[in-house]
Structure 1
Amino acid sequence: MLTHLALSNFAVVSAHGLPLGPGFTVVTGETGAGKSLLVDALLCLSGARAESGMVRHGAERAELSAEFHLNDAPEALAWLRENELDDGDTCQLRRVIRADGGSKAWINGRAATAAQLGELGGLLLEIHGQHEQQRLLDRRQQLGLLDAFGQCQAEAEAVRTAHRHWLSLKQALDDLQRRGDVGERIDYLQHQVAELRRQPLEPEHIETAVMRHKRQSQSGQLLAACAAAASLLDGEDGTSALALLRAGMAQIARWQDSDAGLAEVHGLLESADVQLKEALSQLRHLQDGIELDPAEIAELDAQLGHWHELARKHRVGLHELQAKCEALDAELEQLRGSGDAAVRLQTELKDAAEAWRAAAAALSARRRDAAERLGQAVSALMDELGMAGGRFVVELEANADATPQAQGGERCEFLVSANPGQPPRALRKVASGGELARISLAIEVATLGLDPTPTMVFDEVDSGIGGAVAEVVGRKLRALGGRCQVLCVTHLAQVASLGHQHLQVAKRIASDSTESQVTALDGEARVREIARMMGGVTLTPQTLAHAEAMLAQAGNP
């Protein structure tokens, strides 16, 4: 339920906070006072397009916020939890519209997109505009409305699920059949896979071969380097490292008794002699282990050549050859089984079509029952709305195409006969705008309250009616207010007198500024507003007495 609406610098409203309660709330005011601004604000908070013209002249931005209790909105609460935007059992929607046309939105203080506002707003509010009847002329909307009236949601979802399954199978079969003769492709893949499998393709095997080839290619240089190093360490010409080291040690040995420091140096040189000999030993061991094998180099060259040729052919790296082979093999197996797959898919497609027909038949039965009940309900309301003898019929027509459809096995058409003796005609072909408005209102009243939306907003849906019909409309809306929260912008005293709460929108002009204000009315103020709506500018004792009587009759003191 909507509990509070706040507007700041929105159109002609500078700043206003509006508490709202349960039941049926009416909004009235002079023409042009800005009654529909409340509806426009709720539309913006429900994700509608925000325009710079909504910002009050001279202001940088407009700010809108609405607060809701979620005790009567379990679907909205579930949506908030799913999107991690919940904050207990309350919800706040906020939107800022800048003068340059940009806007930002928040849900419970966290940034949100206009799309998220739209999703959540649809679970919190249902807004009916002045031209709502135009939506009823769309046959797709008519079918959806019939399903809502008949509470066919479960059956309709079963049909959609069956259709999605059937469609996925049909697309798979079509894809398979578009391939045509796959024999050539199978032959090609067999050749490719056989060619790849003739070589060892494991990445580890390839890596080992690459390293072996690198080592063999460098064997000659390694042998030469080892021989040169060994000659420098222990050559025969007397200039090797070991020979020079030992000559130095001999010189120091003769004088080490003369200086204790020389004895320490001699010890270090002895250690160096041991280290050089160890290094020389390891070097010769490594040198002995290097094998220069021209035959192995030739073999590795050939193997690497095969791998590089395959990699270029299949446009992959050396280490991706095994994965490529597996992918080609998988495609080959799939094509080999394509014949069996086609037979299987045809069988499954037939079964899916049967399942869809069963689901569609169950939905059709519910729709036929709902169509009869909706026709009776709207026809009865037409009598109450001043169209005595009128008749409303919901016609269901089987689809010309027998293939499964997402919406079921039939189409829907609303037919109406506005006067006794006239045959029903399609609602979309009814010429009279006044008749269309009444019929549309009858359909709306008959189908309202069928969804869990906790707050319904009406913007002058009673336009074009008056007198006793207007009172009937008001009583229907008041009754609806007993099941959910209802806000209605109206210009009819008969409707306004039946509201549980009454809000008046008035325009104030101060200096060169115009501003709309909203005031909650009760007592004498409400009587005077009802009288104004009936009698114009001059309020006579008779119109005031009539207004008091209307409020008393409605049960509003």
Structure 2
Amino acid sequence: MLASLAIRDIVLIERLDLTLAPGLAVFTGETGAGKSILLDSLGLALGARAEAGLVRHGAAQGSVIAAFDLPPDHPARASLAEAGLGGDDGLLLRRVVTADGRSRAFLNDQPVSLALLRRIAGQLVEIHGQFESHGLLDPTTHLGVLDAFAGLGASRAAVTTAWEAWRAASAARAEAEASQAQARAEEETLRAVVEDLATLDPRPGEEAELARDRTLLMQGEKLVEAMNAAQAALVRNGDVEASLRAARRALERVAERAEGRLDAVIAALDRAEIEAAEAVTALERASTGLDLDPRRLETVEERLFALRGAARRHGVAVDDLSELRQRLSARLDQLEDGGSSLARLAAAEEQARAAYLTAARALSKARAKAARGLDKAVAAELPPLKLEKATFRTRVVAEEERGWGPDGLDAVTFEVATNPGSPPGPLARIASGGELARFMLALKVVLARGAPTATIVFDEVDAGIGGAVAAAVGERLARLATDLQVLVVTHSPQVAARGQHHFRVAKHSRGAVTVTGVEPLAAADRREEIARMLAGETVTDPARAAAEALLAAR
């Protein structure tokens, strides 16, 4: 609810700090006292258009701060959190307008765009009267209002869930179709690549192996030359093993007489003989296993060229060619199985669509029933408000498939006809200012418990009525105020007497300066104000008695 309103230098208001409470608050005052300035100031805080003429003459800027108390589950909290402006305390809407007409908007003292300010404000306050209105006059809100009236939140959530499941199934099928179509278009190329890779038959690590062989083959002549030289050296002075063996045996014959001095030499010769034998064997093996056929080098180079060329063509490393072959082969297999996969996805999509339609049609049926109940309830409120010739209709229309969505199959609009025989039409275009406010009052009384906003403002909802009709308006405003905070600007004593809180708007002159002020009225002052509203310029005792009776009857 709106907890307070602080106004600085707006038109005739120099400084005003207004504290508000739950229930019905009425604002009265003589014509021209400045009640419209009060509403203009509130509208400014809620995001209305700013104009230079709003700033009080002589002031550099004007400002309005609207402070709200929000329950923990209020929808505005989610919007604030989404904008990074969340908090556990209340909410401050602030608007500053300079003398040249420029304005700035703030939420909780953080600068924000005017669009965000308006979006948040739209969840806090509705204003109905002789000027621009929001809320129920916006047809896009009507479906949600009807669902809230009928308590269809759970059914609507089920429809939303079914819609999202259908969309997901549809997207999966469409993605598979697109992939399949692309694969079909590439199938010929794909098969050619797979066949080429199958012929090449690359192996991971093959490039490194071939590179080593190529280096070896390219150095073959030098290798043979070196091995031949080594073999020649080993046999140049006879068999090196036989020479080592002869030397070892010669020393072994005298080893006992050397008292151990030759043991290390004999052991070294023994090891040398073994190592020499191994070296000769290894050299022979290496020489025998060396394939230095020039045709072998040509074969290795051709294989390397083929592997590296294929890698360049397909944009992968040589070692990844084998994996590419497997992947492309798998895609070809999918093409062959693609028809059955698409059929499964299409069946899943159709099943999800059917589930959505089942839930949505049940919701549509419930909405049709709720619409009849809403029409009946509103119709009962119209005669006492001097709208007995008017009709109200909740129009629920099934959309074509392109109009289906997460909220179901329906478009909902509230329509009225103010005269018998006239076709019904949108609220904003059919009803006049006073009629519109009374239609809004009738609707709000019926819809109060499902209302998203906690504060409603009515500007001269009693315009053009009096007597019993004004009393009926006052009674309905009081009833509405049991669930919501209601602020009413009124010229009707019957409406004013119903208020739980009464404020008087008046002009005061300070020398050459005229300012507008607002003061809360105590019981005695309320009686005098209502008597003035009854009697006019001269307040009489009968008027005071009538005022007392109105206050006592509320």
Instruction: Point out the structure with max Rg over C-alpha.
Output: 2
Counterpart for residue 460 of structure 1 = 460
C-alpha change, 1:411 and 1:297, in structure 2 (3 Å) is closer
User: Deviation of residue 455 (structure 1)?
Assistant: 2.6
Task: List per-residue Cα deviations over 1:480-514 (Å, max 9, x = no partner).
Answer: 22223222222322212211111222234545544
Residue identity in the other structure for 1:188? T
The one-letter amino acid paired with 1:125 is V
Q: Which residue of 1 aligns with 2:367?
A: 367
Moved more, 97-106 or 147-156: 97-106
* Cross-structure match for 1:161: 161
Are the counterparts in 2 of residues 357 and 404 from structure 1 also a CA contact under 8 Å? no
Match of residue 426 from structure 1? 424
Q: Pairwise mapping of residues 307-386 of structure 1 onto structure 2 (< 5 A)?
A: 307-308=311-312, 310-311=314-315, 338-386=338-386
Distance 1:437 1:303, change over 3 A: same
Contact 2:394–2:412 (Cα < 8 Å) also in 1: yes
Amino acid at match of 1:184: A
> Within 1, Cα distance between the matches of 2:29 and 2:413?
38
User: How many angstroms apart in 2 are the aligned matches of 1:11 and 1:192?
Assistant: 80
For 1:126 and 1:383, how far apart are their aligned partners in 2?
A: 24
In structure 1, distance between residues paired with 2:330 and 2:65: 58
The DSSP-based 3-state class of the residue aligned with 1:449 is: helix
Q: Which whole-Å CA distance do the structure 1 matches of 2:477 and 2:466 have between them?
A: 15
Query: Within the alignment, does 1:185 sit opposite 2:186 as a pair?
Result: yes
In the alignment, is the contact (CA less than 8 A) between 2:448 and 2:483 conserved in 1?
no
Structure-2 separation of matches of 1:319 and 1:65? 70
Q: Does the residue aligned with 1:343 lie in a helix, a strand or coil? A: helix
Shift of 1:459: 3.0
Shift of 1:52: 4.7
Q: Distance in 1 between matches of 2:412 and 2:86?
A: 39
For 2:408, the equivalent position in structure 1 comes to 408
Residue 55 of structure 1: aligned partner: 55
Structure-1-length-normalised TM-score:
0.68
Counterpart Cα distance in 1 of 2:552 and 2:452: 32
Once the two structures are superposed, what CA deviation does each residue of 1:334-388 show, in whole Å capped at 9, x if it has no partner? 7665433431232122212221222123312322332232122112111222344
Structure 1 distance, partners of 2:47, 2:325, is 52
Once residues 482 and 337 of structure 1 are traced to their aligned partners in structure 2, the CA distance between those partners, rounded to angstroms, is 66
Counterparts in 2 of 1:157 and 1:53: CA distance versus 1, 3 Å: farther
CA distance in 2, matches of 1:530, 1:171: 66
Could you tell me which residue of structure 2 aligns to residue 12 of structure 1? 12
**Could you say which residue in structure 2 is the equivalent of 1:23?**
23
**CA offsets 1:242-300 (integer angstroms, 9 cap, x no match):** xxxxxxxxxxxxxxxxxxxxxxxxxxxxxxxxxxxxxxxxxxxxxxxxxxx99899987
1:151 paired to 2:151: yes
* 3-state DSSP of counterpart to 1:506: strand
Instruction: State the percentage of identical aligned residues.
Output: 36
65-74 or 515-524, which moves further after superposition?
Answer: 65-74
Q: For the Cα contact (< 8 Å) 2:201–2:322, is it kept in 1?
A: no
Deviation at 1:468, TM superposition (A): 1.7
Alpha carbons 2:91, 2:107 under 8 Å: kept: no
CA deviation profile, 1:280-337 (whole Å, cap 9, x unmatched) = xxxxxxxxxxxxx9989998787666555554xxxx9999999999997897677665
- Residue 8 of structure 1 contacts residue 15 of structure 1 at CA under 8 Å; is this kept in 2? yes
Looking at structure 1, the residues matched to 176 and 337 of structure 2 have their Cα atoms a distance apart, in angstroms, of: 11
Counterpart contact for 1:158–1:359, Cα < 8 Å? yes
SS in structure 1 opposite 2:102? coil
Look up the SS of the partner of 2:456 in the other structure: strand
Task: Give the drift of 1:25.
Answer: 0.7
In the other structure, the counterpart of 1:543 is 543
User: 2:126 touches 2:135 (CA, 8 Å); kept in 1?
Assistant: no
**Counterpart amino acid of residue 147 in structure 1:** D
> Do the aligned partners of residues 305 and 427 (structure 1) sit closer, same or farther apart at CA in structure 2, a change above 3 Å counting?
closer
- TM-superposed CA distance for 1:154, in Å, is 2.5
The 1:509–1:338 alpha-carbon spacing in structure 2 relative to 1, beyond 3 Å, is farther
2:481 matched residue in structure 1: 481
Aligned to 2:121: 121
SS at match of 1:27: strand
**3-state secondary structure, aligned to 2:8:** strand
**CA distances 1:164-189 after superposition (whole Å, capped 9, x unpaired):** 43345445545666776853322224
> C-alpha separation between the residues in 1 aligned to 2:387 and 2:69?
40
The one-letter code sitting in structure 2 at the alignment partner of 1:492 is: S
What is the alpha-carbon distance in structure 1 between the residues aligned to residue 333 and residue 511 of structure 2?
Answer: 85
Structure 1 pair 511/323, CA: closer, same or farther in 2 (3 Å)? farther
CA displacement at 1:470 relative to structure 2:
1.7
Check conservation: 1:392, 1:424, Cα contact below 8 A.
no
Quote the Cα distance in structure 2 between the aligned partners of 1:360 and 1:549.
Answer: 54
Shift of 1:194: 6.4
From the superposition, tell whether residues 436 and 122 of structure 1 become closer, same or farther in structure 2 (CA, over 3 Å): closer
Shift of the 366–14 alpha-carbon distance from structure 1 to 2, 3 Å rule, reads same
**Contact kept? 2:128, 2:437, Cα under 8 Å:** no
What is the aligned partner in structure 2 of residue 105 from structure 1?
106
Letter in structure 2 aligned against 1:5? L
User: CA deviation digits over 1:432-487, x for unaligned, max 9?
Assistant: 73656544442233223323533333333443433321221111111222223222
Find the residue that maps to 2:6 and give its secondary structure.
strand
**In the alignment, which residue of structure 1 is the partner of 2:227?**
none
Check whether the contact 2:454–2:484 (CA below 8 A) recurs between aligned residues: yes
Deviation sequence 1:372-419 (CA, Å, 0-9, x none): 321221121112223447654445444466985544344445566767
Residues 413 and 47 of structure 1: CA distance in aligned 2, closer, same or farther (over 3 Å): closer
Output aligned runs, 1:254-293, within 5 Å: none
Counterpart contact for 2:497–2:551, Cα < 8 Å = yes
With over 3 angstroms needed to count, the CA separation of the structure-2 counterparts of 1:455 and 1:200, relative to structure 1, is farther
| TM-score, scaled relative to structure 2 | 0.68
Residue deviations 1:107-132 (CA, integer Å, cap 9, x gap)? 1x445444554454344434435357
Tell me which moved more, 406-415 or 1-10: 406-415
Q: How far 1:83 moved relative to its partner?
A: 6.1
Distance 1:325 1:115 in 2: 56
Task: Tell me how far 1:58 sits from its aligned partner.
Answer: 3.8
1:416–1:424 CA contact under 8 A, matched in 2: no
**C-alpha distance after superposition, 1:203-230 (max 9, x if no partner):** x999x89xx99xx9xx99xxxxxxxxxx
Q: 1:143·1:412 contact (CA, 8 Å) conserved in 2? A: yes
Q: Which residue does the alignment assign to 1:248? A: none
**Partners of 1:156 and 1:363 within 8 A in 2:** yes
Paired amino acid for 1:160: T
Runs of at least 5 residues in structure 2 that lack an aligned partner in the other structure: 220-293
SS in 2 for 1:539: coil
Q: Secondary structure at the match of 2:487?
A: strand
2:5 and 2:17 in contact (8 A); partners too: yes
**Is the partner of 1:378 in helix, strand or coil?**
helix
